A and B are shown apart, each in its own frame.
Chain A
Amino acid sequence: MSTTGHDTRAKGAGPPDRHPEWERLNDLADGRLSGHDAREVGLHLSSCSECRVQLDALRSLAEGAAMLPRAIDPPDGLWDEISASIAAPHSRRRSRPTALWLAAAALALMVLSSGLTALYMQRAGNPAGTLATGGARVPQPAVVGILPASFIETERTYLTSVAEVEMIFAAQRAALTPETVAIVDRALGAIDTAILEARTALLADPANRALADLLETSYRQKLDLLRRTAALHQSS
């Protein structure tokens, strides 16, 4: 089937023995040709098998397109990405945390915090001589040093924010269920352990940017958990 023939033919419907231009054939297929024009093209079609083939092909194409599946399975993991985005601090509209979510977040934080620090300390030769898992053992700061100057202000900002939200959390504890409080306390304990470990390691190796990032991440997790817990109370 060739559609190119219609390019070179006369504009308009023309006399019945001339092929209608491509646009008019499309308009006919779409039911957009009005009375006189439709009759004229129809008259041509009655004696032109080439144009009838073109018209049938146009209609088949439309039918084929209309029959394409309306839904195609999205890639695996798409919802996980979406839920992470709508829960992110920069999201324009925050999700309302649920107790179920909080439990999952607490578990994830415990695993992540301990895992990251353990991984680093294994690689760094365990400078503080301690390795905590899930808050089972609290490391003792064995190294005295000075935090990098660039981190001192960052830490001060986090500590101020954390202190503010901790006050809110303390005032709300009584309104939360004992199960929720237990979950939050466990998660906070794990994060505090991670903070202590990362801070100790950073004091021993102040030039290590990865340790500074790890410590900042732990502070951010603590702040985020406290804020979400406060939001949980407000929405309940």
Chain B
Amino acid sequence: MTSPRPTTPDGVDESALAQRARDGDVQAFEALYRLTAGRVFALCLRMARDRERARELAHDVFVRAWEKLPTFRGEAAFSTWLHRLTVNLVLERQRSERRRAAHEVSNTDRDAELGTRPEEGAMLHLVRHDEGERLDLEAAIRTLPPNARTVFVLHEVEGFRHEEIAESMGIAQGTVRAHLHRARRLLMEYLT
């Protein structure tokens, strides 16, 4: 007896689409894009903070997914595989950006890291007053320093475990906890 093929809530056979896309069918890949783009974009946006940057990252995620599809064995659902690929790509880009930024440390960069640029603060506070609670939290997340934001999003929003985050980011679990606790403190201060 074989287990039923995984389908989306809309009844779309995701694994069949992935198989066709693996064989080079762009229309099947587009169908997979329609199913998963919202989730990928949400993760990119929360981790990148900037909408244009998130667009670039989401683009690169799907291009890489297309290139890597021949290695997709179907052991996990395509969406799970893609989600992991998204996290890895975003973290990889963050690491290389950080290496570049290490050569250009300036007061501006430090302010950005601490989320203390005055114009940004003013903008986010406008969002707080004008929109609802959910947008409050989204805006607050964007003010977090990069590592704290990454850990918070992966743990609290995406549900990754500490050890998974530590492995993906190449840091100790204790460091993951420290970033998480710092993120929570900053968020609670912001939202107060």
B93 within 8 A of A: no
B108 within 8 A of A: no
Q: How many residues of B contact A (CB 8 A)?
A: 44
Contacting pair A73 B184 (CB below 8 A): no
Contacting pair B67 A91 (CB below 8 A): yes
**B residues 1-39 with Cβ under 8 Å of A?**
23-27, 29-30, 33-34, 37-39
Q: A22-B185, A26-B184, A96-B26 are in contact. Are A71 and B62 (CB under 8 A)?
A: no
Min CB distance, A20 to chain B, in Å? 13
A156 within 8 A of B: no
B157 within 8 A of A: yes
Contacting pair A72 B41 (CB below 8 A): yes
Nearest chain B residue, comparing its CB with the CB of A82: B62
Contacting pair B188 A68 (CB below 8 A): no
Min CB distance, B48 to chain A, in Å? 12
**B residues 30-57 with Cβ under 8 Å of A?**
30, 33-34, 37-42, 45, 51, 55
Give the bracket for the number of chain A residues in contact with chain B: 35 or more
A125 within 8 A of B: no
How far apart are the CA atoms of A165 and B21 in the complex, in Å? Answer: 27
Contacting pair A68 B157 (CB below 8 A): yes
**Contact count A vs B, C-beta below 8 Å:** 112
Instruction: Give the one of B30, B67, B157 with max A CB within 10 A.
Output: B157
B110 within 8 A of A: no
Q: A65-B156, A78-B55, A101-B26 are in contact. Are A72 and B42 (CB under 8 A)?
A: yes
Contacting pair B63 A82 (CB below 8 A): yes
Contacting pair B133 A96 (CB below 8 A): no
- The interface residues of chain A lying within 8 Å CB-to-CB of B181 are 22-23, 26
Contact among B33, B157, B184 with A82 in the assembled complex (CB-CB below 8 Å): B33
Contacting pair A79 B157 (CB below 8 A): no
Contacting pair B41 A73 (CB below 8 A): yes
Contacting pair B24 A235 (CB below 8 A): yes
- The interface residues of chain A lying within 8 Å CB-to-CB of B187 are 61
**B residues 115-155 with Cβ under 8 Å of A?**
133-134, 137-138, 152
- Per-position contact with A for B157-192: 1 when CB-CB < 8 Å, else 0? 101000000000000000001001100110111011
Nearest chain A residue, comparing its CB with the CB of B186: A3
Min CB distance, B56 to chain A, in Å? 9
Nearest chain A residue, comparing its CB with the CB of B187: A61
B58 within 8 A of A: yes
- The interface residues of chain B lying within 8 Å CB-to-CB of A67 are 134
Min CB distance, B78 to chain A, in Å? 15
Q: Show 12 residue pairs from A and B whose CB-CB distance is below 8 angstroms, ordered by the A residue.
A: A22-B181, A26-B184, A61-B156, A62-B156, A64-B137, A67-B134, A74-B37, A75-B55, A78-B58, A79-B33, A95-B66, A96-B25
- B interface residues with partner A (beta carbon < 8 Å): 23-27, 29-30, 33-34, 37-42, 45, 51, 55, 58-59, 62-63, 66-67, 69-70, 133-134, 137-138, 152, 156-157, 159, 177, 180-181, 184-185, 187-189, 191-192
